[in-house]
Structure 1
Amino acid sequence: MMKAVAVTPGTPNSVHLTEIPEPSLDQIPHGRGVLVKTLKVGVDATDREINEALYGKAPEGDDFLVIGHESFGIVEAVGENVHRVKPGDYVTATVRRPGGSIYDLIGTNDMTSEEEYYERGINLRHGFMTEKFVDDEEYIVRVPEGLKHLHVLQEPMSCAAKAVQQAFEAQQRMKIWRPEVAYVFGAGQIGLLTTLILKLRGLKVYTLARGKAPNLKAEIVAGMEAEYVSTRETPLESLVKKTGKPDLIVDATGSSTLAFQAMQHVGHNGVVVWTSITGGNNSIEIPSDSVNLHWVLGNKLLLGSVNANRTHFESGIRDLALGDMMFPGVLKKILTNPVQGMENYQEMMRLLVEDKDALKVYVDIA
């Protein structure tokens, strides 16, 4: 048996330490199994909301769900038909697992058309906050040894990579789309990593957050050669007057109010990407006639982006490597709050709930 951190879905504040059987390669058919020793697991608002029983289901046959979807580990053993990784490699793992739709069958599990979805550590599949895990080679992504200091950033980076890629792919409708100005709403991990990707694409990036500079988020944004904007000092309307309407806005705030505000400020032929999920019951008033008018006349686009597949993990890792070379020492500053060992799961959750300065919380498993 081995230790794991789990919740009881449907029961608020049920996070606990438990024991589950150790995995083995023979759980994966056709010799495609990869056995991974877990080194670190990142946690975020998703884990907090699962513990609050806002969503999340246990796998069939279990009454608990092992949490943790941001994995980093080292390969211990592989099946006879595994070719992408070998023992000793550092790896991460994708989160979505396939259902039965055509999109699942072609490897784009993150774009499933089915209402029921499968995500390790989130819904109907156990997560990675345990001593070891096993998975099919298809879902294991190698991490260069030179990036091991950025460990649990691989999964959130994949989500940021997908959000930006989706915008550019959708804008192929324009034949030529060369965005110059981008706003990123939110300076959490997704917002900061999105800032990085957009800077690497050559855009002028403004990253918006509430806190006044100087602060750590502003320091990281400046380190990426982007501009940090405190909305307490510079209202959104004032920023738009200064820069002109942006070509792209990526919302990563977790606020539906701000997500809808983005629709009122993006420029002609522009794109708004929503990456965050709001699980509450808030309602706001919006100038719907004006939004409708300007969106139709301006050929504007709104898209939602959730999770990521293998290609986004791989491109995100490439951008992390380039970003770490372009802006040395900056990305590691995102990793703010290590927690030593799964036994300290209560401290992990306390940081997620109470510490507003905890930019990235992660657990040192081994």
Structure 2
Amino acid sequence: MKAVAVTPGTPNSVHLTEIEEPSLEQFPDGKGVLVKTLKVGVDATDREINEALYGNAPQGDDYLVIGHESFGIVEAVGPNVRRVKPGDYVTATVRRPGSSIYDVIGTNDMTSEETYYERGINLRHGFMTEKFADEEEYIVRVPEGLKHLHVLQEPMSCAAKAVQQAYEAQHRMKVWRPKLAYVLGSGQIGLLTTLILRLRGLEVYTIARGEAPNLKSEIVTGMEATYVSTREKTVEELAAQTGKPDLIVDATGSSKLAFDAMQYVGHNGVVVWTSITGGDENIEIPSDSVNLNWVLGNKLLLGSVNANRTHFESGIRDLALGDMMFPGVLDKILTHPVDGMDHYDEMMRLLVEDKDALKVFVNIAEG
């Protein structure tokens, strides 16, 4: 069957290839699920893998099938599968377990090992194929009423984890009731984080470069949050106007902006970094000032990567609520469909060249 892959370590090697069709026979415990792929989302991670900034092939292969944002329909299940059945719409988690205690208890996204396994990213093939198979544990059912939001399930899980991690860490405060949040970046993770925080009742400012009105500002406003362009107002000026936020989530992809965020969060506040920066940029920061204010302010910085099953499930619930609360808004994130894997070059061109491509996804099959 067809698949889109790269040759890890070789820049711009994305290509169409043929791979063996998966089978439930590879799951001797009877807990396998065979999925017909309907759509696969792509993002900056796929672009950077194609640029050979990171990513490794599974052992024994010289290629890596890309695509970690999956949406499909179950074709068949093993005899011991209970969570899904043929005909169900599903997505799949990305991280697979290693051998640390965190992997053993199902929190693969929190592994303590240096080597990690992610489908479509590192040491495990992805979902940009006609079919894929996996263990029941990693398959998450998507309500039929959310199939119009298809590939948003995976990025939503990452946003859900980032927010949940902040709240969990703040149990240290005994009482933490954040009222004001900044979201840095208005890509898919930034917009979905904005949604989650609005559903929690926070006043949210989503900060990006582009001047309003634009699609991203329209989506932010549609979620009853406030869009701020840094071309019109700096983060420092905004903080002087609103007061320092209780929570800042960085989703910019810029290490400079991630470090800048540390200067603006309020006392007892949290900064969450979600960006993956594969470059080698060096910046200067006011380290003495940041150190002083963070110690005196009991502030917290945490990194959040990937997601596990619980985050997928809570993210799907928030997508459902958000779709009802703000009808038609989330659909606007899905901007650039690509018809079929044969057009992988167009897929990559959109990721590299089109700044208006908020969410690129490939239509693999009808369903």
Partner residue, 1:319: 318
What are the equivalent positions in structure 2 for 1:137-148 lying under 5 Å apart?
137-148=136-147
TM-score (norm 2): 0.99
Partner residue, 1:117: 116
Tell me how far apart the structure 2 counterparts of residues 236 and 161 of structure 1 sit (CA, whole Å): 24
Does structure 1 residue 34 correspond to structure 2 residue 51?
A: no
Secondary structure of the structure 1 residue equivalent to 2:210: coil
Kindly provide the CA deviation profile for residues 35-91 of structure 1, in whole angstroms up to 9, marking residues without a partner as x. Answer: 000000000000000000000000000000000000000000000000000000000
Tell me how far apart the structure 2 counterparts of residues 281 and 138 of structure 1 sit (CA, whole Å): 37
Tell me how far apart the structure 2 counterparts of residues 103 and 9 of structure 1 sit (CA, whole Å): 28
Partner residue, 2:264: 265
Partner residue, 1:9: 8
Does structure 1 residue 205 correspond to structure 2 residue 204?
A: yes
What are the equivalent positions in structure 2 for 1:46-195 lying under 5 Å apart?
46-195=45-194
Q: CA deviation at 1:29?
A: 2.5
Kindly provide the CA deviation profile for residues 194-240 of structure 1, in whole angstroms up to 9, marking residues without a partner as x. Answer: 00000000000000000000000000000000000000001111100
What are the equivalent positions in structure 2 for 1:214-253 lying under 5 Å apart?
214-253=213-252
Tell me how far apart the structure 2 counterparts of residues 237 and 59 of structure 1 sit (CA, whole Å): 45
Q: CA deviation at 1:183?
A: 0.1
Partner residue, 1:281: 280
Q: CA deviation at 1:363?
A: 0.1
Kindly provide the CA deviation profile for residues 276-297 of structure 1, in whole angstroms up to 9, marking residues without a partner as x. Answer: 1111111111111110000000
Q: Percent identity?
A: 86
Tell me how far apart the structure 2 counterparts of residues 322 and 27 of structure 1 sit (CA, whole Å): 37
Does structure 1 residue 353 correspond to structure 2 residue 352?
A: yes
Tell me how far apart the structure 2 counterparts of residues 319 and 94 of structure 1 sit (CA, whole Å): 17
Tell me how far apart the structure 1 counterparts of residues 219 and 233 of structure 2 sit (CA, whole Å): 19
Partner residue, 2:362: 363
Secondary structure of the structure 2 residue equivalent to 1:61: coil
Q: How many residue pairs end up in the alignment?
A: 365
4+ aligned runs moved over 3 Å, structure 1? none
Secondary structure of the structure 1 residue equivalent to 2:84: coil
Tell me how far apart the structure 2 counterparts of residues 269 and 169 of structure 1 sit (CA, whole Å): 14
Q: CA deviation at 1:322?
A: 0.1
TM-score (norm 1): 1.00
The code of the aligned residue for 1:72 comes to F
Tell me how far apart the structure 1 counterparts of residues 281 and 120 of structure 2 sit (CA, whole Å): 27
Secondary structure of the structure 2 residue equivalent to 1:284: coil
Tell me how far apart the structure 1 counterparts of residues 7 and 24 of structure 2 sit (CA, whole Å): 27
Tell me how far apart the structure 1 counterparts of residues 72 and 100 of structure 2 sit (CA, whole Å): 30
Partner residue, 2:289: 290
The code of the aligned residue for 1:313 comes to F
Secondary structure of the structure 2 residue equivalent to 1:99: coil
Unaligned runs of 5+ in 2: none
Does structure 1 residue 337 correspond to structure 2 residue 336?
A: yes
Q: CA deviation at 1:163?
A: 0.0
Secondary structure of the structure 2 residue equivalent to 1:344: helix
Tell me how far apart the structure 2 counterparts of residues 312 and 354 of structure 1 sit (CA, whole Å): 31
Tell me how far apart the structure 2 counterparts of residues 10 and 226 of structure 1 sit (CA, whole Å): 41
Tell me how far apart the structure 2 counterparts of residues 53 and 255 of structure 1 sit (CA, whole Å): 18
Q: CA deviation at 1:334?
A: 0.1
RMSD of the TM alignment (CA)?
0.3
Q: CA deviation at 1:114?
A: 0.3
Secondary structure of the structure 2 residue equivalent to 1:225: coil
Secondary structure of the structure 2 residue equivalent to 1:263: helix
The code of the aligned residue for 2:52 comes to A
